[in-house]
Chain A
Amino acid sequence: MAEPLLKVENLEAWYGESHILHGMDIEVREGEVVTLLGRNGAGKTTTLRSIMGLVGRRSGSVRFEGQELVGARSDRIARAGIALCPEERGIFASLDVTENLMLPPKVRDGGMDLDAIYTLFPNLKERARSPGTKLSGGEQQMLAIARILRTGAKLLMLDEPTEGLAPVIVQQIGRTIREIKERGFTVLLVEQNFRFAQTVADRHYVVEHGRVVDAVSNAELSGAMGRLHEYLGV
C-alpha cells in the first residue's frame, strides 16, 4: 500500500526542560478518522501541536504526503495542507463570525465553499455578524471547525471538540465529523470521551506518557473495553 497521508515516527517533543513526547508513532491514511485516546497529560494535545509545528523543540519524523515537516515553520505546515482546531478554539474576539471564517488563507483547492459550510452549520449563518466573543461554546467550536474546512487543508486535527459541550451539540459535532469524512477529509481527533470517539472513528491509538501504547480498530473497540478502562481509568 502507498505511503499513508500522515506518518509520524519516533516523534519527541519538549516544552522547555520537560520532555513530553517520547517517540510517538502514528499513521493516518487518506480518508480515515483516527483518534488519540488517553488521560490528561498523556501528550495527545502536544502531539497535535508538534505536528503543527507549534512546539519549540521536536525531533523524529512527521511526513505528510511524503514531505518531511518536522523542522518546518508552522505557517509552512499549514500551507502544506494540515489544519489544527485547537482545544481553546482560538476564535479571534475582535473579528466577527464571517471575518473569522474568511481569515485563514486558502492553501489549495478542494475546500468547502461558504454555502456548504453554512448548510453544515446553519447557526453560523444566523450569527454571521456577531463578534467572536458573543458566541456560545458550541458555536465557537463549530466556527473553529468551519474555519479550517474552507482552506482546502486535507488533514484536519481536532483537539477535544466535544469538551464541555451539551449532549445535543456533541451529537451535532459527531454528525459534522462523519459528514466531513464523507467529503473526503482526513481527521485526526483527540478525545477523552471514547464513547463519542467510537461513533465517528475508524481506528484509535491509546497514548500514555508520550507514546502510543495500543492501537485498536473501531470494530474491536467493544471487545477491548476492559483494556481501555484500564488505560483511561474510566
Chain B
Amino acid sequence: MASGHASTAPALLVPEAPGLLGLSGLGFNRAQSIAFLVMLGVLLVGPFLLYPVFLMKLLCFALFACAFNLLIGYVGLLSFGHAMFFGMGGYVAAHAAKVWGLTPELAILAGGVVGAGLGVVAGWVAIRRQGIYFAMITLALAQMVYFFCLQAPFTGGEDGIQRVPRGALFGAIDLSSDLTLYWVVAAVFLAGFLFINRIVHSPFGQVLKAIRENEPRATSLGYRTDDYKLVAFTLSATLAGIAGGTKALLFGIATLTDVYWAMSGEVVLMTLVGGLGTVFGPVVGAAVIVTMQNYLAEFGAWVTVIQGVIFVACVLAFRAGVVGELGRILKVRL
C-alpha cells in the first residue's frame, strides 16, 4: 500500500451500526451516543436544578478521573501519584491568576502546562517499571511534590493560596456569577472528555490498547512501547493539571489537600467505582464519590469509613464498576 496505515484506515472501515446525529464521528457507538446525549442534557439542565458550585466541583473531578482512566483503562498503567498533577495544576493556576494576574483561561492553561511538564518527568522515570513498581514510583514522586508544595514559598504552605480571583474570561466575561462560571467549567470538562475519547479511538489509542493487552506482542510488531506510554502518561497528566487548575479557580483556593496522596487514592476510587476502561465510568464514579462527600459531610470523619465500605462493596459486587456492569447487562459498550 502506498501510504501509511493511519491515513488509509478510515476509508476502509466497514460502517458499524450507525451512530446518532453523526456522533459516531466522535468515535461513539450507538449506546455511547445515547449516553453522551443524556450527559449533555444533564449538563444543560443541571445548574437550574442543583447547586452550580457542587456541579462544577463534580465536573472537575470527573475530568480528573477521565484523565486518570486514560492511563489505567487504556494503557493498563496504575498511577498512584496523580494528585501531583491535579494539585500542582491547582497551585500554578491559582498563582497565575492571583499574582501574575492572568485571565482564567490562561491560568487554567498554565495548570495544564505544569501538569504536562511534571508528567513528562514523572512518566519518563516511572514507565521503566511495571505493575506495583510503577505505582510505587509515581507515589514516591507525588510525595516529593507534596513536600515541595509544603515548603515552597509561593504555595503558602499550610495556608495554601487563598482568595484567588475568578477574573474575567478572555478579559471580557466576568465569572463572579456561579452560573457563568458553570458554563466555562462545563465547556472545559466537555472538551477534555471529547479529547480523551478522540485519543482512545484513534490509531494511537489502538496501539495503547494493544500495549495494555500484550506489551511484548506490540513491541514485536514494531512499536517502541515506552514512547507510547510516555505520551499517554503526559496527556493524562496534562488533563489532570487542567482539572486541578479549574478547581482552584472555582473555589478560589489551592491547598495541600489536592496534592496529598489521599487525592491520588480518591481518583483511583472514582475510576473503579464508575468502571475502569469505560468512556462514561469515571464521570459516574466522580459523581458518586463527590455526591457522597457532599451529602454525607454531616457524618464528619465517618465519610471515609462509609466510602471505604462502598468501595469494598463495589469491588465485591460489581467489579466492572457501575457503568461497566450496566454495559454488561445491556450488552453494549459504554
Contact = CB atoms under 8 A, between A and B. Distances in A.
A79 B227 CA distance: 15
B130 interface: no
A99 B16 CA distance: 13
Contacts of B203: 102-103
Contacts of B14: 98, 128-129
Q: Shortest 10 CB-CB distances between A and B: which pairs?
A: A78-B222, A90-B217, A104-B221, A113-B1, A74-B219, A128-B14, A75-B224, A74-B220, A105-B222, A94-B209
Interface of A: 52-54, 73-75, 77-79, 83-84, 86, 90, 92-95, 98-99, 102-107, 111, 113-114, 128-129, 147-148, 150-151
Contacts, number: 82
A107 B16 CA distance: 29
B222 A90 contact: no
Interface in B145-189: none
Given A103-B207, A106-B1, A113-B1, A83 B13 contact: no
Contacts of A53: 220
Contacts of B16: 129
Contacts of A93: 213
A75 B216 CA distance: 9
B216 A74 contact: yes
Interface of B: 1, 4-5, 8-9, 12-14, 16, 203, 206-207, 209-210, 212-214, 216-217, 219-225
Given A83-B221, A99-B206, A151-B222, A94 B213 contact: yes
Contact of B219 (A75, A98, A99, A148): A75
Contact of A106 (B5, B12, B209): B5
A229 to B, nearest CB: 34
A95 B209 CA distance: 8
A105 B216 contact: no
A95 B219 contact: no
B5 A150 contact: yes
Contact of A103 (B12, B210, B224, B225): B210
A98 B219 CA distance: 19
A92 B206 CA distance: 10
B221 A105 contact: yes
Contacts of B213: 92-94
Nearest to B16: A129
A95 to B, nearest CB: 6
A154 B214 CA distance: 23
A118 to B, nearest CB: 10
Nearest to A147: B221
16 contacts: A53-B220, A54-B216, A75-B225, A78-B222, A90-B217, A92-B213, A93-B213, A102-B9, A103-B207, A104-B221, A105-B223, A106-B4, A106-B5, A129-B14, A147-B221, A151-B221
B217 A86 contact: yes
Contacts of B210: 92, 95, 103
Given A95-B206, A150-B5, A75 B214 contact: no
Contacts of B212: 94
Nearest to B74: A94
Contacts of A147: 221
Contacts of B220: 52-54, 74-75, 77-78, 84, 86
B221 A98 contact: no
B217 A114 contact: no
A104 B209 contact: no
A77 B222 CA distance: 7
Identify which of B1, B12, B223 gathers the most chain A CB atoms within 10 Å of its CB.
B1
A98 B12 contact: yes
A147 B210 CA distance: 13
B182 to A, nearest CB: 36
A134 to B, nearest CB: 13
Nearest to B212: A94
Contacts of B209: 92, 94-95
Nearest to A151: B222
Contacts of A90: 214, 217
Contact of B206 (A73, A78, A103, A113): A103
Nearest to A99: B206
Contacts of B207: 103
Contacts of B8: 114
Contact of A92 (B1, B13, B214, B223): B214
A198 B54 CA distance: 72
A35 B52 CA distance: 69
